Amino acid sequence: MAGHFEPLPGGGAVVALDDVEISILRSLAVQLLELIGPGTEPVEGHDPLDALFAEGPTKPPADPALARLFPDAYGGPGRKLGADEEATAQAASAEFRRYTENDLRARKREDALAVVRGLDALARPGSGTGAEAGAEGESEAEGAEAGTGVLELSPEQSRQWLGALNDLRLAIGTRLEVTDEDDGGELLRLPDSDPRKPMVMAYFWLGGLQETLVETLMP
């Protein structure tokens, strides 16, 4: 079980993580929260429905990693379209993004927070796992040092972790310029002196966690 997920009887998953793994994973989750940005919680004194029906952006993010997390719904890199088709795809993507990105951003944020909550729960015996642990908001990303332990996830928490692990790999892969066709073999052969090596190792480690977590969710 150490370093990979296993299924729990009745649903959910369990994983054993040591101090180093917890520290790295928590740091990455906090960085993901910072990349995604703040939520769209209603401002004090304002109607909560204002946030519920707020329209999102219409243009893709300038940061390549964010653009990978929030891609255009139509067209996109690698698709050869004519000028008219490209214009139509961009207009459709802008309209789709306007009504969906805020919700998608909120979901990705909750997924990353679920990782932070779960890891922080390991440092507080008896405090529970996942959504039961910690305070809401940014304070969760600034919590106590995580400890060593065995983390049990409910089926819903497992899905949140899977989403966060996928987002982390997409963001890191973008920074490393990994393409869909790239098997990463060249990255694994980088010398230890290469400044990208720690990020490469994190990328493949997260892939192992993601793969074993997917297996626990399969019927």
Q: Is residue 48 part of a domain?
A: no
Q: Is residue 45 part of a domain?
A: no
Model pTM above 0.85: no
Return the minimum-mean-pLDDT range out of 43-52, 83-92, 193-202, 204-213. 43-52
The pLDDT of residue 122 is: 83
Domain count, the chain: 1
Strand order in the sheet with 149-153: 6-7, 13-17, 149-153
Q: Is residue 109 part of a domain?
A: yes
Token pair recorded at residue 12: 């959910």
Q: Is residue 57 part of a domain?
A: no
Domain that holds residue 162: 7-38+102-217
Contact 188, 200 (CB under 8 A): yes
Q: Is residue 88 part of a domain?
A: no
Q: Is residue 199 part of a domain?
A: yes
Instruction: Check pLDDT > 90 for residue 9.
Output: yes
Mean pLDDT (the chain, rounded): 81
Q: Is residue 61 part of a domain?
A: no
Instruction: Check pLDDT > 50 for residue 138.
Output: no
The pLDDT of residue 142 is: 45
pLDDT above 90: percentage of residues in the chain: 50
Instruction: Check pLDDT > 80 for residue 189.
Output: yes
Q: Is residue 185 part of a domain?
A: yes
The pLDDT of residue 42 is: 52
Count other C-beta atoms under 10 Å from residue 183's C-beta: 9
**Between residues 219 and 169, which one has the greater pLDDT?**
169
The pLDDT of residue 129 is: 45
For CA atoms 175, 179, 180, 185, the dihedral sign is negative
> Region 26-48: what's the mean pLDDT?
79
Q: Mind listing the pLDDT tens digit for each residue in 146-166?
A: 446 899 999 999 999 999 999
As to burial, measured by CB atoms within 10 angstroms (0-12 exposed, 13-18 middle, 19+ buried), residue 16 is middle
Instruction: Check pLDDT > 90 for residue 120.
Output: yes
